[in-house]
Amino acid sequence: MSSNKAAVELDELIEKILEKTNEWETSQRDIALSLKTAVEDFHREALHRLIACLHDDPASQGGLRRAIREPMVYALLRHHQLLKPSLEEQVLVALDEARPVLSQHGGNIELVSISADRDVSLRLLGACDGCSSSQITMEKGVERILREHCDWIRDVVVEEPAADKDTMIVNIVSPFEDRGAL
């Protein structure tokens, strides 16, 4: 079984168990949640100490980096807040905040890349691709949200619209444009 599949199955099992506790009396539910919290606190502290030991040993640092790249280990350490979200995860969370507004206008956005210099390249999709108001959308909406979530970004670059489109839907109003009282 792959580590990703095992992680998903474990997540589903935990959710089912937690749903069952909703049927329990409050005192029973409190005991179960206290036990869950105690086990998680114990695991978090043990993992923290393990990472500290490996980090302090130069010979072990390569192995630690390899272990962190393993999806199940990464997910476990993220769950216990022992690793910060990757730069990509931070950008994706910010883009998820912008997507509902873009989708109201038939658009979307995707992350293309993050450079070593911390420049973020994005591509506007759907109605936003080639829209005359896309610059306003980027500056007043997407870029503002990105910088709120990701203060490490040096520059935001928008990739050119797709050149091979047969038809183009054009929105003449940015969903982020301040239109005041209309």
Q: Which H/E stretch holds residue 6?
A: helix 3-21
Query: Where in the chain are the domains?
Result: 3-79, 87-158
Give the neighbor-by-neighbor strand order of the sheet with 119-126. 107-114, 119-126, 155-158
Report pLDDT for 79: 84
Amino acid at 2: S
- pTM listed for this prediction: 0.61
Alpha helices in 22-174, H assignment, sequence order: 26-56, 61-69, 71-79, 87-104, 134-136, 143-149
Query: Domain 87-158's class?
Result: alpha beta
Query: Which of the 8 DSSP states describes residue 59?
Result: G
Q: Are 140 and 177 in contact (CB under 8 A)?
A: yes
Q: pLDDT per residue over 86-138, tens digit each?
A: 888 899 999 999 899 888 888 899 999 999 999 999 998 888 887 778 888 88
Q: pLDDT per residue over 128-172, tens digit each?
A: 887 778 888 888 888 999 999 999 999 999 887 655 555 455 545
How many Å separate Cα 159 from the centre of its chain?
A: 21
Contacts of 165 (CB under 8 A, 6+ apart): 129, 130
